[in-house]
Chains A and B, each alone.
Chain A
Amino acid sequence: MKKIKVKSISLFTSFFFMVALLFQPTISLAMTLDELIAAAQKEGEVNTYWHSSRMGKKVAKAFEEKFGVKVNATKMKDSEMTERIVREVTSGNVIVDLVGYDDGPFLDTVLTPKGMVENYVPPYVAKDIPADSSNPLIYLWQPFVIGYNSEAYGNSCPVKSLWQLTEKDWSGRFHMWDPRIASSMLQMFSAMEDRSDELAASYKKHYGKDLKITEANAGLEFVKRLAKNNPVLYNEDYEIAVAVGTKGQSKPPIGIYSLGRHRENAKKNLALALCDVEPFKGLNQPTYMQIVKGSPNPNAARLLAYYVLTQEGANPWVGVVGAYSSNSSLGSSPDNPYPSAEAWKGTLLVSNNTNVAKRRQALMDFWIKYSN
């Protein structure tokens, strides 16, 4: 008897909540920002796995000073993050609260459908976040660009077409993330398959003849030729940026890394510059922000999620060159070549999560097979 009563009451309340949500879609669980802050402070800390070290280096400090909530941040590549999220949720021993995660395909096809993460769009900023970035929530767009050393090569990039990177002259001189560790590279390959016509056209434009294709499409052809051309692989783009940008080299390599590395030109005495290369200058990488199911500090996680979508919290990324917040009301650094992520238009590849999910194993094996 009692049980039924409880059940009917909870049904009743949830009905009310639903009605309330219908009328006030921006207020989740009827918590005001002040209430959220208080709840977060009660929890006292929040654990994050983040794609960028700036969470630990910058945001953590500012957040703790402002709200008195400690942020434990660990920088992690997406493959490790995936492993840990799945591991923690399935073991019921969840340590992490909030993740800044690059592997959209895995999120869309596994983590979200399996309910391993919770999509939380902070209601206090929800109106400024475009619908296509809301579910799952993208908090940051980062151009991963092809860059070169401007000290050695001057004002123009030594390659005009991506296809040149598959020439002998650039053998062992293209530096990139290891596709086995960074899903971004698989996302790029998949997006290249999606836009293989443009790759083929660019080949014709550069070499004046048609591309001879031995694979299913020009995108795969490019990936194969690139893999066979002995690219140098890294775990962290910090290393790529240093390899490319260090001054005093006579024949420095070209690399793909996040545009944000350009902010370190002065500090680390590098000469990184953006390559104006056809048909794509790189990849526009969305970073998703999700609360992990069963998170021990959900309110602190929500507060932090909100914070990095405000100007102050986003500044470590958007205040310098190399990233755009999904919050359209926030500005971006004047050092960026374009004022917004959209303004790059077609020059950056954007992958389709469903396509990547379908092709990732095949693309990975394809890559391993041809890389030497």
Chain B
Amino acid sequence: MFFSNLINQNSLLIRLKIRLSRLLLEPSFLIGSALVVILSYLVIAPIVSIFSNSVSLTMMDAMLSGSKDGEFTYKYIDRVFTSSISEKIFWTPLMNSLTVSFFATLIALTLGLILASLVTSTDIFGRKYLGFLLIIPYMLPSQAMATAWLTMFKNRKISGPPGMLESFGINPPDWLAYGPLPISICMALSYFPFAFLLFSSSLSKIDMQLEEVASTFGAKTKAIWSKIILPLLIPTTMSVLLLTVARTLGTFATPYILGTPAKYNLLSTSLYSSVRSNESGVVAVLAIVLSLIGIMLLLVDIWVVRKWQRFVTVGGKGIKRKPSKLGIFRTPTTIFAWIIFLLAAFGPFVVLALSTLMREPGNFSFSNFGLAYWTGVDVPGMDQPGIFTSPEVITALKNSFLIAGSASIICGVLGLLIGYAVVRLPGTLISGFLRQISFLPYLMPGLAFAAAYLSLFAVSRGPIPALYGSLSLLILVMVVTYLPYASRSGISAMMQVGPEPEEAGMVLGAGFWRRIISILAPLQKSAFVIAIILPFITGMKELSLVVMLVTPGTELLTTQSIRFLDFGYTQLANGTILIIGVVVMISVLILNRVTKTNLASGLGG
């Protein structure tokens, strides 16, 4: 009895010991578990609060009706789906959202794929520059494109100063100025660079040996593309599809600016009106619907990934694809690519810049141009500071840098850690959980997420103090919202590095940190840079996520530009948008220089 007990205890101890040493040998497990705890709180808690908000009486309604705050109610669900106003606030916006998302994604995906193929694999003129220039639209806040479109095409439907076409005597029809067409186009032009980036990155990572083998067997370029490269791009296509659809569903600046005049509401604008009219119950219900759509997309993604399994496409040798000759198509494709650049990046920039340089809108005479709106000297509006002399712009600039900067660095680190844990713990619960949970925030509309964070972190909870009115709340909400970018890029980058190099390191006796520093870090350098740059860019131009959370003193450039619009300082607002664009572009250039990676040519470098 006694002995067997002892032996049992001993074997238990030994087993525990083995377990423990295995855990210590496998830091991915520790990292994974820590991430599970942190993310559960930061991602799941807001989602839970949204669900509970959808069925409990809001404080406002409780106060107005004299009931108890938080009482269970079907009021908001009824209101959204079956009430007399449900068609106005839900059903029509839903159809509109689906329509716009479909077209915007279709255009963005097609543009991204075509342009990425042209730039990475052909001898198109100016491919080096195009690689950078084509991602510029991504650096402009989405309201820039919409505002520029409006400045160009606005007609008499909404009065006020004439649009540019109007001042040349052309009267644009309503369907061109407002509604689904311009919204789809503007969204597509804002988001195609994302598709372009991902496709470029995948294209330059596809193992050249596959193509070499094919061409050795006599396959034509066309066959190589249709039989090898495009099928290999399917997982990337799915990712692009997912990210773009989710993004377009959650954007509100574009439909807000271009849809409102035509009363063309999307779910995002309907949600926004509900936020602004303090109907947090309705906000919660709409947010859940948007999230459910997102979760459906996620399920499709899981299915695709399972079907295609993982692609270890990074070749051991760093051979670059030789640009194929386009022949007679060289000039037309070049023109096409440059036109897209002109429309998506240069156009809005010029329109916005012109508006800050012209003393009187629409007057193109030489004497009408000047720097008054920038320097604040002799401004036509009299009591208006210049863009460079406004203390608000300086504060907002500082805040934007601080918030987007810290959020993106935290994001980048988290992204790679998630990637590491997910890929090194295949088939475990942790891996699946992390993969899905880190992507969840993308499917939540930013406005709803912000609302949830506001109600969650306005008061102190456990070790976390009340964060309302602090920069850390903004940083936190950005980190969580942008995690999908970082974790996606982290996971896909880690997937493409097979375990062999690390195993080789292990055989040679390298410890965990040694392996990270000497093997993974160099391999993942560019993935890390991308995992930081993408959130930074998005953070610099973020509006919907932060507009409810900023307080006086924590204004960002984007929210400040909205404040300027409220004040009637159109030029200041446009100037602020330009600053965002320039700051982001410069940061990207600096990062490219410092890390010697070229964001544009993907991970090929």
Interface, chain A (partner B; CB < 8 A): 47, 53, 56-58, 72-75, 77, 79-80, 82-83, 86-88, 90-93, 95, 109-110, 114, 172, 175, 178, 180-181, 230, 232-233, 235-236, 238-239, 242-244, 246, 248-249, 251-253, 267-268, 357, 361, 364-365, 368-369, 371-372
In B33-73, which residues have CB < 8 Å from any A CB? Answer: 59-60, 63-64
Given contacts A95-B469, A109-B64, A114-B63, contact A249 B159 (CB under 8 A): yes
Q: Is A369 touching B158 in the complex (CB atoms < 8 A)?
A: no
**In the bound complex, do residue A93 and residue B59 qualify as a contact, i.e. CB atoms below 8 Å apart?**
no
| Contact, CB under 8 Å: B459 / A53 | no
Interchain Cβ contacts under 8 Å between A and B, 22 examples? A56-B567, A74-B552, A75-B566, A75-B567, A79-B277, A82-B60, A87-B458, A87-B468, A93-B459, A95-B468, A109-B64, A110-B60, A180-B277, A232-B261, A242-B160, A242-B568, A249-B156, A268-B381, A361-B64, A365-B83, A365-B84, A368-B85
- Asked if B198 CB lies within 8 Å of chain A CBs, one says no
New A-B contacts (17) at CB < 8 Å, excluding given A77-B276, A249-B156, A268-B381: A72-B553, A91-B458, A92-B466, A110-B64, A181-B277, A232-B158, A233-B260, A236-B568, A238-B568, A239-B160, A243-B158, A248-B162, A251-B156, A267-B381, A364-B277, A368-B89, A371-B88
A180 to B273, CA, bound (A): 7
Report which of A92, A253, A368 forms a contact with B88, defined as CB distance below 8 A: A368
CB distance from A52 to the nearest CB of B (A): 10
Which residues from B are CB-within-8-Å of A267?
A: 381-382
- The 8 Å CB contact of B59, one of A77, A90, A181, A243, is A90
- Give Cα A175 to B261, complex, Å: 11
A91 touches B459 (CB 8 A): yes
Name which residue of chain A comes closest to B547, CB basis: A80
Compute how far the CA of A192 lies from the CA of B30 in the bound complex, rounded to whole angstroms: 66
- Provide the bound-state CA to CA distance between A131 and B551, in Å: 35
Closest B residue, CB atoms, query A49: B552
Closest chain A residue to B562, Cβ basis = A235
B501 near A: Cβ within 8 Å? Answer: no
8 shortest interchain CB distances as A-B pairs:
A243-B159, A91-B458, A180-B277, A238-B568, A243-B160, A110-B63, A368-B85, A93-B466
On whether A75 and B563 interact (CB within 8 A), knowing A243-B159, A243-B160, A249-B159, the answer reads yes
Contact with A along B465-500 (1 / 0, CB 8 A): 010110000000000000000000000000000000
Establish whether residues A80 and B276, one from each chain, have CB atoms under 8 Å apart when the complex forms.
yes
User: Is B17 in contact with chain A by the CB < 8 A criterion?
Assistant: no
Whether B552 pairs with A95 at a CB distance below 8 angstroms is yes
Given the interface contacts A91-B458, A180-B273, A246-B161, does A57 sit within 8 Å of B383 by beta carbon?
yes
Closest to B87 in A: A369
Rounded to whole angstroms, the CA-CA distance of A181 and B269 in the bound complex is: 13
| Closest residue on chain A to residue B157 by CB atoms | A172
Q: Tell me the complex Cα distance, A172–B174, Å.
A: 12
Q: Which residues of A contact B459 (CB under 8 A)?
A: 90-93
On chain B, the residues within 8 Å of A56 by CB distance are 567
* CB of B209 closer than 8 Å to a CB of A: no
Q: Smallest distance from the beta carbon of B67 to chain A beta carbons, Å?
A: 13
Q: Given the interface contacts A79-B278, A232-B261, does A369 sit within 8 Å of B160 by beta carbon?
A: no
Measured CB to CB, the nearest residue on chain A to B65 is A361
Q: Is the interface of B mostly helix, strand, loop or mixed?
A: loop
- B159 partner residues in chain A, CB cutoff 8 A: 175, 242-244, 246, 249, 252-253
Q: Which among B83, B158, B162, B277 has the highest number of chain A CB atoms within 10 Å?
A: B277
- In the complex, A172 Cα to B156 Cα: how many Å? 10
Residues of B within 8 A of A (CB): 59-60, 63-64, 83-85, 88-89, 156-162, 260-261, 263, 273, 276-278, 381-383, 454, 458-459, 466, 468-469, 551-553, 563, 565-568
Contact A93 B156 (CB under 8 A): no
Query: Which residues of chain A have C-beta atoms less than 8 A from B568's C-beta?
Result: 53, 236, 238, 242
Please give the distance in Å from B90's CB to the nearest CB on chain A.
11
A87 in contact with B276 (CB, 8 Å): no
Complex contacts, A80 vs chain B, CB 8 Å? 276
Most chain B beta-carbon neighbours within 10 Å: one of A233, A268, A368, A371:
A368
Closest partner residue, chain A, to B384 (CB atom): A57
- Do the beta carbons of A57 and B567 come within 8 Å of each other? yes
Q: Are B263 and A72 in contact (CB under 8 A)?
A: no
Q: Pick the contact of A246 from B160, B263, B458 — CB < 8 Å?
A: B160
Q: How far is the CB of A227 from chain B (nearest CB, A)?
A: 11
Complex Cα distance, B260 from A236, in Å, reads 14
Whether A93 lies near B458 (C-beta < 8 A) is: yes
Question: CB distance A365 to B64 under 8 Å?
Answer: no
CB closest residue in chain B, given A253: B159
Chain B residues in 8 Å Cβ range of A252:
159
Partner of A72, one of B59, B88, B160, B552: B552
Residue on A nearest B62 in the bound complex, by CB: A110
Distance between Cα atoms of A224 and B567 in the complex (Å):
31
Residues of B within 8 A of A251 (CB): 156
Which residues of chain A are near B566, meaning CB under 8 Å?
53, 75, 235-236, 238
Q: How far is the CB of A99 from chain B (nearest CB, A)?
A: 12
B468 touches A372 (CB 8 A): no
Shortest beta-carbon distance, A301 to chain B, in Å? 14
CA A235 – CA B566 in complex, angstroms?
Answer: 8
Distance A90 CA – B382 CA, assembled complex (angstroms): 41
Q: How far apart are the CA atoms of A110 and B66 in the complex, in Å?
A: 10
Distance from A50 Cβ to chain B, minimum over Cβ atoms (Å): 11
In this complex, what residue of B is CB-closest to A367?
A: B85
Across-interface contacts of A249 in B (CB, < 8 A): 156, 159
Q: B466 — which chain A residues lie within 8 A by C-beta? A: 91-93
Give chain A nearest CB distance to B118 CB in angstroms.
42
Residues of B within 8 A of A268 (CB): 381
Report the Cα distance A365→B80, complex, angstroms.
Answer: 12
